Amino acid sequence: MNIDLKGRIDSNNAPAVEKNIQERLAGANAQEIVLDAAGLEYISSAGLRVILRLKKSCHDLKIVNVNSEVYEILDMTGFTEMMPVEKAYRVVSVEGCEEIGRGANGKIYRIDQDNVVKVYKNADALADIQHEREMAKLALILGIPTAISYDVVKVGDSYGSVFELLNARSFSKILATEPDKMDWCVKEYVSILKKIHSTLVPAGKLPDMKETVLGWAHFVQDYLPEEAGKKLLALVEAVPHDDHMLHGDYHTKNLELQNDEVLLIDMDTLAVGHPIFEFGSMFNAFVGFSEQDHEVIKHFQGFDYDTAQRFWHKSLAAYLGTSSERKLREVEDKARIIGYTRLIRRKIRRQGLETEEGRAQINFWKERLLQLLEKTDTLLFSSNELEIEAVTEKLPEVQAFVEEHLEAADCPMKAKMQIGVAVEEIFVNIANYAYAPEKGTATVRVEFSKQPVTVTITFVDHGVPYDPLAKQDPDVKLSAEDREIGGLGIFMTKKMMDDVSYCYRNGHNILTLKKNL
């Protein structure tokens, strides 16, 4: 039986309200009572006692359409634990509203100047909403700039979560309307991506992306020649477990510029894992989904296929800190393996094998996947940043790391050795002095710029402030007997690099070497 509760229920009218309800129940023998609180503005303890007595007479009692003030009272007094209490959801219409974003679980619309709503696809969206809120909260606590929803609303037959988002524009919209902002977008996009990928997630908080991709690989294995299927599985298996955060659906519709702040708005796909898995989904977002039909990307992102491809390549280059085509192609190929695996599985699960068009699409991806599997031995790649224990024993690792990048950039032999000498000098200095007698780490970053082709190598440590460049240069004119052993290294570094600079910032020694190639 449905009973409406209206207005205010307090000690003045509680006895009357109770009498009224009892009269309605008399003789009805109701097994189930639903109290509809849509019109209820306030309830005092006298009113609560009425409900409590009602609950004793009818076990199956619930309260629905409770507004937020009343909900708070029910929550505070423990009623939400004693009986089912359902909140009233504000009803919001998105008809005619601009779609500003699109995530794995739903679409995002702007409902007024200050607010957006994410409308979920699933019928049972309340669990999804709860999940995404948890994800967003976790991300925010770990330092990722994101918006957290403040309200759940009803949109048609499904639910939506509302976020405050003032004057915000998605990166997709910026790319579509202001092509000259491409490089700026790339920079911001990569900077947040790196922030995500450098965030360590406490164990068990997020799903492991490797498990998900292994699932795709197992599925697709059955549709590949035996050897290729085995190799695909082995490649994914060989990616080491990684507790760093992945976004999982990192494309430009999920990034919003709000005034000067960049915010992530779709957090329901957060996971942990190796960055190559992220690249797989990024490749699909910008290239994979629209590789056969270039119109797909226009419909989805609002910009064309060419823009998407350039954005993807520039982002990859900025992330890896290299402009070497060879290196970029190498990492892209690894991302494509994951991307195609996912696309094939997705299409087959959507009955793709049952139509001619679907089979053609699947074959297109399969052909490419087989070619890639043929020539790929690992899904791992090196980034342009190395964090390493600052001890001289690690010097060969540092040198190998730097050299790999130099070789990818076709650095001449002579410059390679000169850079090696400088790198050795700076790293050994950090190893010997920065943390002694304790130990610590150093971060080495290699970056290239074009025109002129310059390599920049940056060393960062958080040891005692120390400027190695402040030392006076040795006198190289002295005879052997008068020469002192020492000070030579920094002098050689200064002589052989085109620029060497030092600064101490936020507790870090930052030393930068530049060499024109």
Nearest to 453 by CA among 410, 501, 418: 410
Are the beta carbons of 259 and 167 closer than 8 angstroms? Answer: yes
Tokens of 325: 């085509």
> Which CB atom, from 142 or from 488, has the smaller least distance to other proteins?
488
> Which CB atom, from 486 or from 507, has the smaller least distance to other proteins?
486
Q: Which of residues 484-503 bind other proteins (CB under 8 A)?
A: 485-486, 488-489, 491-492, 495-496
Report if residue 126 touches other proteins, rule: CB under 8 A.
no
Of 96-104, 271-279, 351-359, 412-420, the segment contacting other proteins by CB under 8 A is 412-420
d(CA 469, CA 467): 5
Report if residue 425 touches other proteins, rule: CB under 8 A.
yes
Report if residue 393 touches other proteins, rule: CB under 8 A.
yes
Are the beta carbons of 490 and 425 closer than 8 angstroms? Answer: yes
The b-or-e profile of 377-397 (16+ CB within 10 A means b, else e) is eebebbbbbbebebbeebeee
Instruction: From residue 406, give the alpha-carbon distance in Å to each of 280, 314, 384.
Output: 26, 19, 11
Q: Rounded to the nearest whole angstrom, what is the least distance from the CB of residue 418 to other proteins in the complex?
A: 8
Report if residue 417 touches other proteins, rule: CB under 8 A.
yes
Binds other proteins (CB under 8 A): choice among 424, 426, 448, 513: 424
Report if residue 360 touches other proteins, rule: CB under 8 A.
no
> Which CB atom, from 353 or from 436, has the smaller least distance to other proteins?
436
Nearest to 244 by CA among 206, 214, 216: 206
> Which CB atom, from 252 or from 429, has the smaller least distance to other proteins?
429
Report if residue 111 touches other proteins, rule: CB under 8 A.
no
Binds other proteins (CB under 8 A): choice among 428, 453, 510, 517: 428
Q: Rounded to the nearest whole angstrom, what is the least distance from the CB of residue 490 to other proteins in the complex?
A: 8
Report if residue 418 touches other proteins, rule: CB under 8 A.
yes
Q: Rounded to the nearest whole angstrom, what is the least distance from the CB of residue 469 to other proteins in the complex?
A: 15
> Which CB atom, from 127 or from 417, has the smaller least distance to other proteins?
417
* Strand ranges inside 450-492, DSSP E: 454-461
d(CA 171, CA 180): 13
Q: Residue 74: exposed, middle, or buried by beta-carbon count in 10 A (0-12, 13-18, 19+)?
A: buried
Q: Rounded to the nearest whole angstrom, what is the least distance from the CB of residue 421 to other proteins in the complex?
A: 5
Of 88-96, 137-145, 355-363, 483-491, the segment contacting other proteins by CB under 8 A is 483-491
> Which CB atom, from 106 or from 489, has the smaller least distance to other proteins?
489
> Which CB atom, from 321 or from 420, has the smaller least distance to other proteins?
420
Report if residue 31 touches other proteins, rule: CB under 8 A.
no
Residues 6+ apart with CB under 8 A from 317: 323, 328
# chain residues binding other proteins, by CB under 8 A: 29
User: Which of the 8 DSSP states describes residue 431?
Assistant: I
Report if residue 450 touches other proteins, rule: CB under 8 A.
no
d(CA 147, CA 44): 35
Report if residue 414 touches other proteins, rule: CB under 8 A.
yes
User: Which of the 8 DSSP states describes residue 200?
Assistant: B
Q: What share of the chain is helix, strand, coil (3-state, %, to 5)?
A: 50, 20, 30
The b-or-e profile of 103-118 (16+ CB within 10 A means b, else e) is bebbbbbbbeeebbbb
Q: Rounded to the nearest whole angstrom, what is the least distance from the CB of residue 390 to other proteins in the complex?
A: 13
Report if residue 395 touches other proteins, rule: CB under 8 A.
yes
Report if residue 167 touches other proteins, rule: CB under 8 A.
no
Question: 3-state secondary structure string, 3-55?
Answer: EEEEEEECCCCHHHHHHHHHHHHCCCCCCEEEEEEEEEEEECHHHHHHHHHHH
What are the residues binding other proteins (CB under 8 A)? 392-393, 395-396, 399, 413-414, 417-418, 420-421, 424-425, 428, 476-481, 483, 485-486, 488-489, 491-492, 495-496
